[in-house]
């Protein structure tokens, strides 16, 4: 969770969405749903070094901002990257210090569309105190203390959790929410209970 986006990150979300493509992950593994790639959403290169890691956990986040179904996915990702790569005062008064790239590995928007975020070969980032190395970070668009994840989001999340668990041999007990590792509400009271059903799905063999 990023706590709160600054106002400029919302006002930037204004253009037409690039097309989706079903593409391989960096080493050839294939996510099983159509995915907007970094190239398609116009990602800039990382601004600094990042820590290599291997995912051993799946950790679920929410963006912490109310969803914007009217806005295109590519612009949401560009705005998130712009916010991520510079120092910025957040709307809750806290200070966000620049990261080299988008903090998450996969982004699921309010319509259930998937986007490639940070290269999964590198650990993510956080405004909270846990170390995200080893965590595959999947974020859902929305503030799930105030709204509920859509059926489309949950369907994509189930598919991605099942795929990631198989891809990196991550057991059910290593699926968790951001709040399990840091003092935060993320991924929100209306999403967090869904993790029990996701763990049950993994234990049942997907």
Residue 156: which domain range? Answer: 32-42+55-203
Would residue 155 count as lying in a domain?
yes
Would residue 154 count as lying in a domain?
yes
pLDDT over 90 percentage in the chain: 75
Residue 85 has pLDDT above 90, yes or no: yes
Would residue 47 count as lying in a domain?
no
**Which is more confident, 27 or 12?**
27
Given this model, what pLDDT does residue 12 score? 34
151-168 and 194-203 are packed helices; what angle lies between their axes, rounded to 10 degrees?
A: 40
Is the torsion defined by CA of 46, 47, 53, 56 positive or negative?
A: negative
Residue 25 has pLDDT above 50, yes or no: no
The answer to whether the CB of 179 falls within 8 A of the CB of 64 is no
Residue 75 has pLDDT above 70, yes or no: yes
Please write the tens of the pLDDT for every residue from 145-195: 999 999 999 999 999 999 999 999 999 999 999 999 999 999 999 999 999
In a 3-state reduction of DSSP, which class is residue 188?
coil
What distance in Å separates the CA atoms of residue 176 and residue 134, rounded to the nearest whole number? 13
| Residues linked to residue 95 through DSSP beta bridges, in sequence order | 89
Would residue 1 count as lying in a domain?
no
> Which tokens sit at 167?
């891809």
Would residue 122 count as lying in a domain?
yes
Would residue 60 count as lying in a domain?
yes
Split into its structural domains, the chain has a count of 1
Given this model, what pLDDT does residue 67 score? 96
Given this model, what pLDDT does residue 5 score? 39
Would residue 26 count as lying in a domain?
no
Provide mean pLDDT across the span 81-94. 78
Single pTM value for the model: 0.84
Please write the tens of the pLDDT for every residue from 112-148: 999 999 999 999 999 898 999 999 999 999 999 999 9
pLDDT band at 202 (very low <50, low <70, confident <90, very high): very high
What distance in Å separates the CA atoms of residue 2 and residue 167, rounded to the nearest whole number? 27
Given this model, what pLDDT does residue 15 score? 31
Would residue 19 count as lying in a domain?
no
Number of H helices, E strands in the chain: 5, 8
**CATH for 106:** 3.40.80.10
């Amino acid at each position: 969770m990023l706590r709160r986006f600054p106002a400029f990150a919302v006002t930037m979300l204004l253009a037409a969405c690039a097309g989706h493509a079903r593409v391989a992950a960096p080493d050839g593994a294939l996510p099983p749903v159509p995915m907007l790639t970094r190239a398609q959403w116009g990602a800039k290169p990382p601004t600094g070094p990042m820590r290599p890691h291997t995912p051993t956990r799946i950790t679920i986040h929410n963006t912490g901002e109310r969803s914007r179904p009217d806005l295109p996915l590519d612009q949401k990702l560009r705005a998130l990257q712009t916010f991520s790569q510079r120092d910025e005062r957040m709307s809750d008064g806290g200070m966000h210090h620049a990261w080299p790239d988008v903090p998450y590995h996969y982004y699921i928007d309010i319509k259930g569309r998937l986007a490639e975020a940070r290269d999964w070969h590198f650990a993510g980032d956080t405004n909270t105190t846990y170390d995200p190395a080893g965590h595959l970070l999947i974020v859902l668009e929305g503030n799930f203390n105030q709204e509920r994840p859509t059926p489309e989001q949950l369907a994509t999340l189930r598919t991605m959790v099942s795929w990631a668990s198989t891809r990196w041999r991550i057991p059910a007990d290593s699926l968790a929410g951001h709040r399990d590792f840091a003092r935060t509400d993320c991924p929100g009271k209306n999403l967090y209970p869904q993790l029990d059903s996701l763990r049950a799905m993994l234990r049942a063999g997907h």
